[in-house]
Amino acid sequence: MLVEKNVPLQSLNSFHIVAKAHALCRIHSQDDVLALLQQPQWAGADKFVLGGGSNLVLTGDVKPLVLKVEIGGRKLVAETAKAFIVEAGAGENWHDFVAWTLVQGYSGLENMAMIPGTVGAAPVQNIGAYGVELQDRFESLDAIDLDTGHVFTLNAAQCAFGYRDSVFKHSSSGSLDRHQRPIGLKNRALILRVRFCLPKRFVPMLGYADLEKKMAEHACPQPSAQQVFDWVCEIRRAKLPNPALIGNAGSFFKNPTVSVEQCADIIARDPKVVHYVLADGAIKLAAGWLIDACGWRGKSVGQAGVYEKQALVLVNRGSVNGADAATGGEVMTLAKAIQTSVYERFGLMLEMEPVVL
Ligand code: EPU
């Protein structure tokens, strides 16, 4: 296996931060991982699995061996009376995969169009948008244990999906919980392939306000999956920056969940606070609104800024392919200043979404 040294990462992270990997290996197949693990120099080395780099803040050069996942392939693997089971290689671009499923006649992923990143990264943070999360369409995945080379399959319960969360975001303890679920696979498992369960009966998911607006505008109460896909693309283009042109990592903070009492306290501070009641009675607040209310929209620290059209997104105001890009330090200084001001005004500490390396 070829391990490249001192590899520039600016084009491999969607923030386009300038940094290098001390060592990087491109993984095209399961056998590539096994071959790498047979090399004594790399078998025991610390490793970092890189997909599309779209949920990442690099604060310096990366010392662990970077495994850049480039495993391709997409196919129908099974069909039941009610669903198509479709599989994609972890290195496939997520949006291209969603577009491909629709061309094949498989609906169900259209609300998650245009989410940056790869198929293999999608389960890691249980990506979601416009009322649908990856876990709603997930069947199973195959991964390889980077300590042992053992290939294993996980179902949805074993992935322990939560809001922008899964077993892959938590550190390894090497043990199983009482349901025999692995605890913590962060930096230990490399996802090889993901399978999706796409229902044959198409039910458009239109509960999200932006989609309801599109439906009314187009006077189209029963849109096709392709129509929903097109609307989601339009909505995202209108309010989210294209990472190819403006570096960013999507939503920078998670939307916080609070109790009814905490929400009442926040409403007392500002009655206009945007909030939604969840099925379990807890309340979700819009982090973008909280940041906006603190006056951060459009502000900058060095070359790191708060996007003008959506305050939940931090952007690189420098170039995407030059040395004047925002640094990871600037992004983190801005993120911490936002956390402090939201805490001082609303008594809530926002949790960051991207991985900081
Ligand atoms: N808002 C403001 N000011 C802002 C930004 C938002 O007042 O600067 C208000 C909006 O007016 C709206 C509310 O906040 O009332 C929510 O905003 P929006 O509908 O844009 O969604 P979001 O909660 O900010 C979440 C996801 C996005 C996903 C959208 C659509 C998280 C952390 N983010 O954003 O996911 O695309 O909903 O489903 O859950 C991502 O994870 O990278 C991501 C982009």
Q: Read off the pLDDT of residues 177-186 as tens digits, 9 standing for 90 and up.
A: 555 555 789 9
pLDDT in tens, 282-309: 999 999 999 999 999 999 999 999 999 9
pLDDT in tens, 205-237: 999 999 999 999 999 889 999 999 999 999 999
CA 197: distance to chain centroid?
19
Report yes or no: 132 and 175 within 8 Å, Cβ to Cβ.
no
pLDDT at 343: 97
Ligand 1 atom with the smallest distance to the CA of 240 is 44
> One of 14, 92, 251, 330 is an active-site residue; which one?
251
153, amino acid identity: T
Query: What is the average pLDDT value for the chain, to the nearest integer?
Result: 95
Q: In sequence order, which residues have a C-beta less than 8 Å from that of residue 43 and are 6 or more positions away?
A: 36, 37
- Out of 312, 313, 314, 315, give the residue to mutate to test ligand 1, the one with the largest number of ligand atoms within 8 Å of its CB: 312
Mean pLDDT across 55-63: 97
Distance 138 CA to ligand 1 centre (A): 23
> What are the structural domains of the chain?
3-69 (3.30.43.10), 74-199 (3.30.465.10), 247-356 (3.90.78.10)
Ligand 1 atom with the smallest distance to the CA of 310 is 8
Residue with tokens 């200043």: 337
Distance 267 CA to ligand 1 centre (A): 19
Mean pLDDT across 91-101: 98
Ligand 1 atom with the smallest distance to the CA of 129 is 38
pLDDT band for position 1 (50/70/90)?
confident
pLDDT at 175: 59
Residue nearest to atom 27 of ligand 1 (CA): 129
pLDDT band for position 174 (50/70/90)?
low
Distance 250 CA to ligand 1 centre (A): 10
pLDDT at 221: 84
Q: How far apart are CA 61 and CA 129, in angstroms?
A: 32
pLDDT in tens, 144-170: 999 999 999 999 999 999 999 999 999
